[in-house]
Structure formats: structure tokens, C-alpha cells
Chain A
Amino acid sequence: MKTRTLFLFVLFSCSILSAQESPYSRCEIQGEDVFIRFHESCLNSTNEDCAALEDFKKYDLSGLIKSGAYTTWTQDGWTLAKTGALTYQLHKKLSLFDKLFSMEDKFNIDISYWAYPVSERIKQGNHPVEKEPVRVDFKGNVEFVLKGRGNARQVILSGTFNDWNEKDFKMVKTGDVWKLKLKMPTGIYEYKFIVDGEWITDPANKFRVQNQHYTYNSILVVGKDVLFFLKGFQNAKKVALSGSFNNWDEDGLPLTKSKDGWRVVQKLPPGKHYYKFIIDGYEWIIDPDNKIQERDEGGNINSILMVY
């Protein structure tokens, strides 16, 4: 009995200690009041969990708390109060955030406050960051290949990347195969081959989109290689990846099992992507190692990945 009591006491103490030591800061609006609640350890921390307190670092709140002078401190309508052994709250009336905003003030907002951290999953490839003209380059990052048209006299590659130009990108015949390598920035492109004047989609590419002529264009996604990795789940029989980039395909993209988890590399265009993992075909889970999540209309939480 004594041993069990001691164990519970130690466990309880540890949990309190753990809770007290973890830095946090939260900005909350409750009715007419704005609160910034924080743990004392945040005062000297650059931890991202302490970001809500960032604007107050210049006030030496540590000194105020040590001296006890915080009880009478006010600044720009803010007051400071103690809420626990090591926890405090800043308070200001919501109505005091009433300074007039001028037309040009919108240009003074630093958008980095909202930036999602760039995922470490994105492998840095040779893809140009900003738009560059698409050009023929034997060291290019995309190769177009057309097989089965060995008898053709001429094959032209045309697409959104060159304003559907019908002359510029002449493909080169090697044996019975027509090829052309281009250097292309990341993006989503539509294209077709012009075989002796006949416009055809890429027979080797099943991804197509209907165009204004009620025919189809082939789709090419020049993206960055993104590694999706799910740690653990060694007992799972299969794991798949589903998200906004594959229309939340219920079968998903299969991940490969390894010693420490499951992984797959997927090319993704720049933008904001939502995803989840599917365990054994029925259990949809968010990425446990990705803090960036959003709730959709149905209340479901999805993981988010930004590709730049």
C-alpha cells in the first residue's frame, strides 16, 4: 500500500512538474477582453509556443515579476496578473484596439507571422524557384517521350508552357521513339503532341483534362519531390496516402514499409496541400509528426503541407 501511494505521489508530482515546465503562451478573446496567458518560462524563451508573448519582450516582464511590481504595471491598456504558481496573464480590453487604420497600413503588416514553416520534407531539387522561360535543354528536368509513331515525319510538342506554339519544340527521333527534354519550372501544364499536323494527347499519360474544343489535353505536374513518412505502425498491413492532390482517393497512394515506418515520395506542385494517411484501408489518420492542421467543414482535421 505504501509503495503504491509513493508511486502515485511521484507520478502526480512528475505530471505537475512536467506541466509547469512546458512553456506556453496563448492569446484568447473572451467577450470584451483579450488575454495572453503564459508560463513564466516563456519570458526568456524563443520557443515557437511562446510567440504570443513576443510583442511584450521589450517590457522586461521578468524584472517586473521578480520585483513584484507587475501588480501595478500598465502599458498601452495592458495589465499583468498572476494566475498560478508560475503562470500569468496579460489583459487588455478589446475595445482599446481601436486605433484608426489608414489605407497604407495594410502594407505594414509583416506576413511572416502567419507563415507556415517550410517543411523539411521537401527535398531541394534542381527546380527553379521563380518562373523562367521553358526551354529545350538536354540537361532539362522533364523529358517528353512519344512511342509508336516511328513513321511520322515530324512531331511537335505544344502546350501551355509555350502558349501552344506549333513550331518551336520539335521532338527528336531516336529509332522509333520521339523525345524532347525541357527545363521547366514547377507548375501544372497542359500539352499535346502534333504528329504530322494531327493533335494527339500523350498516349503514355493517363492524366488528361477536357479543353474548350471538347477534346482532351494531357496534364503534366512538375513538382517538388516530397517525402511523406509515417513513423511506426509496424503492425499495419498497408498504409496509403490520400489528399487534395489525388482528390482524396480512397485507395490512396501506397507507402512502402521500412524498419522505422512507412514512406513514399510524391511530386507536388507549389501550393497548399491537405492530406491524411489511411491505415489498412479504413483508418484515416492525420500525420502525427506534422503540427500544421486545419479543420474542414465537416469538423475533420487534415494535415497541411505547403510546397513553395
Chain B
Amino acid sequence: MLWFFFLSLGLKLQLLTGVRKILWFVLFCFICHMAGAAHITNLHIPVSQQRDGYIVPFTLQGGLIIIQAMINDSMGNFVIDTGAEGLVLNNKYYQGVTDESRSYYGVNGRGRGLTVSKNNNISAEGLTFSGITADVVDLTSIENNKNIRIAGLIGFALLKDFEVMFHYRERLIALSRVDSNGRIIDPMPFVLDKVDSLSFVMGNFIPVIEVKVNGFTKKFGIDSGAEINLLDLKRSKNIMTEFLPMRTIRLAGANNEENEVIAGRLQRVKLLDKYNCGAMGTVLMNMDNLNKIYRTNLDGILGFEFLSPWLFSINYKKQMLYLHPLKVVVP
């Protein structure tokens, strides 16, 4: 039908533009038709999967988003972590094999031989991922700090084919599957206005946005797995006046080493040159390791402190972050 529409339009134009142009136009129509066919093919998903988007409720443990998911026939708690590469499983409950081709950055620098677990199936609220390879790491620190059993983390590789809406107030994430161009395939039963949008780039597997801090443009990773924002010690000298230190704290690290960092609040952060963020809990530390992992030079990480007041969606394919209106009461 699309093809005939363009052809009839082309015939009308023929009278105006001559034979050569109509030939080009017919070719254009044919390309459009093929593109349309391809698009329809992409949309043609099995009937059993045709549905609305997926709404996954969560609970907050501190600032961490915890969902319940079925992993290989057992239920477990997972952290939605946009700062993680993909599926990560807790080595307390899951075993894996060493993959020498994978490398990691630890406190002692770069290491080889990450433990992985293959062919995992994970599902939540009707959304299923099959044959997933997971990194297997020690996540007991989350369990100890949150006093909750944590099966793993869900990160970029599982989220990248969706537009993901984070609704901290209603405690849900809404996932709409998108095609390769970022167009929504599984729409939500509700439509939220997009009052604003900003593009991001991927720093390896983390979305990276630019914000202004007291007028200086800074690059921050969006990390739903970080409860407190991070600010790099070396790259933040010009905005140090906006970091209000409170005290030093010591983080338990690997090999019983302690990592002393400065806890404070970061103020005057501005999004899209117009949205002011309140002063946010932030830790000042050395981010060299994280920047190697994210293969970029981040000035910091924005986590729960930044994200929770907004109602926003991340479209990984379009690399766009959308802001939705918080309900404005109209008298």
C-alpha cells in the first residue's frame, strides 16, 4: 500500500518534473517499500510475545532498586544497575568457570580470567532472557550492607533493547522493547509526555550525560546501582567550591584494605541548562579504575541521589534520556 501511495504521488509529479525525475522517484518508492517491508518484518514478533511493555515493580533498599526475578528456576533479588555490563551473579550462590579472555580492573590493576556462568535464564513479570552469560563476582558487600540476599545485578546487556522508565515514586520500572532504531515495539498501556530530552553517549556500557556544575560542563555516568554520587578527585578541581565536604569515611575494600574517601554534598548541578538539582550526597575519590572500565574520562557518577527525584526514561538505542512531567496539579 505504501508503495502504491508513493507511486501515485510520483505519477502526479511526473506531469511537473519530467521523465528522469519520475524514474528516480519510482526507484525511491521502491526503496521506501523495501524499507517499509523490512520495518514490518522487524515488528513481526511472534504472537505470544506481542504485548504491552513490561512493568516491573521494585523495592528500594536504601537507594538500590531491587526486583525479584526467576533465575534458572529459583527466585532471587536483583539490583537494577545501569553501571553494570550485563548480568552479574553472586558467587556465594552461583558457580562459574574462568574465562581467560575476559579481563577486569581490581584494586591491584588489570587482571585476567573473570569467572563466568553461561546459559542462564532469567525472567521477571513476563519478560524473559535466555542463554545469558553472566559474570560471577563477590556481591556479599551488598548483602551485608543491605541485610538482604542478593542473587545478582542486571545491567546494560539486558536493558539495551528497551526504553526503560524509572519511576522511583511509584516503585516501578517500565520496559518497552525497541527496534534497532530505538522505536518502541511494545508500547506501554499509558503514554507519558516527554517534557525534555537530552542525548547521551555510551561510555563502554554506561550512559554518559553532560551537566553543568557552577557553569562548568562535566561528564557524568548514569548509574542506578550507585546510591551516592561519585566525583573524581583529579578532574573536579575547578568545581571543588561546589563540593561541600562533611567528613571522611572509610570503605572496606579488597584484601582488608580500607579506602578513605571524603563524603559531602555536591551543589549547583544543572541539567539541560535549566533544571537545578538540589545538593546531592557525593563521595570524592579516585575514579581512574572506573574510567578504565568505562573507557572514558568521567568527572563523576550520578546515582540515586540524582535520579530519584525525576521521572525519566533511557532509550539505549536512540541514546536519549527523556524527562517526563512529574504530576503537576491543575486546580
A110 and B145 in contact, given A27-B262, A105-B259, A187-B169 (Cβ under 8 angstroms):
yes
Task: Tell me the bound Cα distance from A294 to B139 in angstroms.
Answer: 35
Task: Decide yes or no whether A130 CB sits under 8 A from chain B.
Answer: yes
A103 lies within 8 A of B170 (CB): no
Q: What's the minimum C-beta distance from B172 to chain A, rounded to whole angstroms?
A: 9
Q: Does B279 contact A (CB under 8 A)?
A: yes
Counting contact residues on chain A (CB < 8 A from B), the size range is: 35 or more
- A26 nearest in chain B by CB position: B245
A29 touches B240 (CB 8 A): yes
Residue ID in chain A nearest B171 by CB atoms: A131
Stretch in B55-63, B116-124, B314-322 touching the partner: B55-63
A-side residues, CB < 8 A to B, are 27-29, 34, 36, 51-55, 76, 94-95, 97-111, 113-114, 130-131, 160, 163, 187-188, 190, 206-210, 212, 216, 219, 247, 269-272, 294-297
- Residue A102 contacts which of B105, B223, B262, B330 (CB distance < 8 angstroms)? B105
Q: Are B139 and A102 in contact (CB under 8 A)?
A: no
Contact residues of B: prevailing secondary structure: mixed
Contact with A along B222-260 (1 / 0, CB 8 A): 010111101001000000100101111111111001011
Q: State whether B293 touches A295 (Cβ < 8 A).
A: no
Q: A97-B261, A131-B57 are in contact. Are A109 and B228 (CB under 8 A)?
A: yes
B interface residues with partner A (beta carbon < 8 Å): 57, 59, 62-63, 83-84, 105-107, 137-139, 141-142, 145, 169-171, 189-191, 193, 223, 225-228, 230, 233, 240, 243, 245-254, 257, 259-265, 267-268, 270, 276, 278-279, 281, 283-290, 293, 301, 303, 305, 309, 327-331
What residues on B are CB-neighbors of A210 within 8 Å? 330
Given A29-B240, A103-B105, A131-B171, also A114-B263 (CB < 8 A): yes
Inter-chain contacts of A106 with B (CB < 8 A): 83, 223, 225-228, 230, 301, 303
Partner of B329, one of A109, A131, A160, A207: A207
- Chosen A-B contacts, 29 in total, with CB atoms closer than 8 Å, are A27-B247, A27-B264, A36-B247, A95-B233, A97-B284, A97-B285, A98-B233, A99-B257, A100-B286, A100-B288, A102-B289, A103-B83, A104-B141, A105-B251, A105-B253, A106-B303, A107-B142, A109-B228, A113-B247, A113-B263, A114-B228, A114-B246, A163-B189, A188-B169, A190-B327, A207-B329, A207-B330, A219-B327, A295-B279
Are A216's CB and B249's CB within 8 A? Answer: no
Would you call A55 and B248 a contact (CB within 8 A)?
Answer: yes
Interface secondary structure of A, over-half rule: mixed
Q: How far is the CB of B102 from chain A (nearest CB, A)?
A: 14
Could you tell me if B230 and A271 are in contact, using CB atoms closer than 8 angstroms?
Answer: no
The reply to whether A104 and B170 form a contact with Cβ atoms under 8 Å apart is no
Most chain B CB within a 10 A radius of its CB, from A76, A98, A106: A106
With A29-B245, A101-B285, A206-B331 given, is the CB distance from A109 to B251 under 8 Å? yes
CB closest residue in chain B, given A54: B247
Candidate in A114, A190, A247 with the most chain B CB atoms within 10 angstroms? A114
- Establish whether residues A111 and B228, one from each chain, have CB atoms under 8 Å apart when the complex forms: yes
Q: Are B327 and A209 in contact (CB under 8 A)?
A: yes
Out of A34, A216, A294, which one reaches B330, CB within 8 Å? A216
**Nearest CB in chain A to that of B294: its residue:** A103
Write the nearest CB–CB distance from A170 to chain B, whole angstroms: 22
**Min CB gap B146→A, angstroms:** 8
Contact yes or no, A297 B288, CB < 8 A = no
Known: A29-B262, A111-B228. A101 touches B290 (CB 8 A): yes
- On whether A76 and B260 interact (CB within 8 A), knowing A107-B141, A297-B276, the answer reads yes
Q: Report yes or no: A113 in contact with B249, Cβ–Cβ below 8 A.
A: yes
Given A111-B62, A188-B327, CB of A294 within 8 Å of CB of B279? yes
Are the C-beta atoms of A34 and B245 separated by less than 8 Å?
yes
Residues on A with beta carbons closer than 8 Å to the beta carbon of B193: 212
A103 touches B293 (CB 8 A): yes
Residue pair A111, B227 in contact (C-beta under 8 Å): yes
Residues in A with CB closer than 8 Å to B254 are 102
Task: Please give, as numbers and ranges, the residues of chain B lying within 8 Å of A247 by CB-CB distance.
Answer: 329
